[in-house]
C-alpha cells in the first residue's frame, strides 16, 4: 500500500532541524532516517528542487497589528467600540495615508484578512454593547467614590443611627431604556466584561424612576415616556402598579 504523501509523519520543524544538522556536517542519509523523512524528499530539499514553505507574510507588520489591537481595546474601553466594517475602514484609511497599495480592492482589507487577523489575535472578540449616555460616560470611578463618601458623611451629620437601620435607607434612581437601535456587535477584548456604546439618550428612551429600600421594599415605579401623546397606546393597562408620565425631555435630571 502506498504511503500517504499528504500527511507525512515528520513536521516542518523536524525537517528544518535535519537540514540544520546536515549543514553542520551530519551524515545526510542517517539524519533523514533519524527524523523519519523519506530520502527522496530530503534530497530534494537539500538540492533546492523543493523549497521550504515560508510562512506567508501579512500585509501589515506585527507591530502595526499590535497597534490596531491596542486601538480596538482603547476604543472599546471608552465606549466607542468599532464594528467589523469600521475596523476595515480604519485600516484602509491608514494604508491610504501611508501611500501603500495592496491587492485588496480599493485598499480595503478583505473578509479573509479579518478572519486571519482575529485568529492571530484571539483576545479580540465580538461583544454586544449597552447604551451609555454621554453624561454617564464622563463619570469616573473617583467621582462615584467621592459621592458616596460625601453622602455617608452627610447622613452621619444628621443621624448616624440611620446607617444601622436598613429599612430607613431608600435609594431612588432613574434608568433609561433606549429606543435607539445600537450598531450591533463591536470588537472588544476578553478581559472587558462590561462593553458600552456612548450615545445620546435624550428623547430616545423610556425612563423608569425606581425607589427601593435596603431591605427590599419598593414603591410603585414612575414611567416617563417621550413626547406629549401616547397615540393609542395605554400604558396603564400594561403597567397597572406604576405611575405614568410624559415628557419632551424624558430625562428627569434634564
pLDDT tens for each residue of 139-183: 677 888 888 899 888 888 888 888 888 898 888 888 777 666 555
pTM for this entry: 0.46
Per-residue pLDDT of the chain (254 residues; tens, 9 = 90+): 444 445 567 787 888 888 888 888 889 999 989 988 888 888 888 887 655 555 557 888 989 999 999 999 888 887 788 889 999 999 999 999 989 988 899 999 999 999 999 999 999 988 877 766 555 656 677 888 888 899 888 888 888 888 888 898 888 888 777 666 555 777 777 776 666 666 555 456 788 889 999 899 989 898 888 776 776 677 777 788 888 887 766 554 44
Using an 8 Å Cβ cutoff, are 234 and 213 in contact? Answer: no
Are residues 159 and 114 both part of a single domain? Answer: no
Q: For residues 173 and 199, state if they share a domain.
A: yes
Residue 139 domain-assigned (yes or no): yes
On the 0-12 / 13-18 / 19+ scale of CB atoms within 10 A, 65 is middle
The verdict on 142 and 243 lying in the same domain is yes
145 in Cβ contact with 212 (< 8 Å): no
**Three-state DSSP class for residue 132:** strand
Residue 141 lies in a domain: yes
150 and 187 housed in the same domain: yes
Boundary (domain end) residue, out of 102, 122, 142: 122
For residue 7 the three cell numbers come to 500527511
Q: Is the dihedral of CA 98, 99, 103, 106 positive or negative?
A: positive
Domain count of the fold of the chain: 3
Q: Are residues 99 and 151 in the same domain?
A: no
List strands edge to edge, sheet with 205-213. Answer: 170-178, 205-213, 222-226, 243-247
User: Same structural domain for residues 135 and 228?
Assistant: yes
Q: Is residue 31 part of a domain?
A: yes
First to last CA, the chain: 82
Domain of 97? Answer: 62-122
Amino acid at each position: 500500500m502506498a504511503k500517504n504523501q499528504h500527511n507525512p509523519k515528520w513536521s516542518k520543524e523536524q525537517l528544518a532541524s535535519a537540514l540544520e544538522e546536515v549543514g553542520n556536517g551530519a551524515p545526510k542519509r542517517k539524519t533523514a532516517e533519524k527524523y523519519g523523512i523519506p530520502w527522496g524528499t530530503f534530497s530534494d530539499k537539500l538540492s533546492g528542487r523543493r523549497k521550504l514553505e515560508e510562512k506567508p507574510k501579512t500585509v501589515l507588520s506585527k507591530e502595526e497589528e499590535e497597534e490596531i489591537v491596542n486601538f480596538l481595546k482603547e476604543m472599546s474601553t471608552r465606549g466607542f467600540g468599532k464594528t467589523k466594517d469600521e475596523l476595515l475602514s480604519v485600516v484602509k484609511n491608514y494604508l491610504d495615508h501611508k501611500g501603500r497599495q495592496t491587492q485588496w480592492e480599493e485598499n480595503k482589507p478583505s473578509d479573509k484578512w479579518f478572519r486571519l487577523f482575529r485568529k492571530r489575535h484571539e483576545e479580540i472578540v465580538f461583544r454586544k454593547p449597552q447604551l451609555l449616555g454621554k453624561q454617564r460616560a464622563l463619570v469616573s470611578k473617583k467621582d462615584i467614590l467621592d459621592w458616596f463618601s460625601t453622602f455617608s458623611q452627610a447622613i452621619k451629620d444628621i443621624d448616624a443611627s440611620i446607617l444601622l437601620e436598613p429599612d430607613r435607607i431608600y435609594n431612588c434612581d432613574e434608568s433609561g431604556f433606549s429606543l435607539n437601535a445600537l450598531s450591533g456587535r463591536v470588537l472588544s477584548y476578553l478581559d472587558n466584561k462590561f462593553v458600552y456604546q456612548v450615545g445620546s439618550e435624550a428623547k430616545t428612551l423610556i425612563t423608569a424612576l425606581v425607589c427601593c429600600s435596603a431591605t427590599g421594599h419598593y414603591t410603585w415605579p414612575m414611567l416617563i415616556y417621550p413626547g406629549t401623546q401616547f397615540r393609542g397606546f395605554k400604558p396603564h393597562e400594561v403597567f397597572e402598579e406604576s405611575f405614568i408620565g410624559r415628557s419632551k425631555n424624558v430625562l428627569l435630571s434634564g
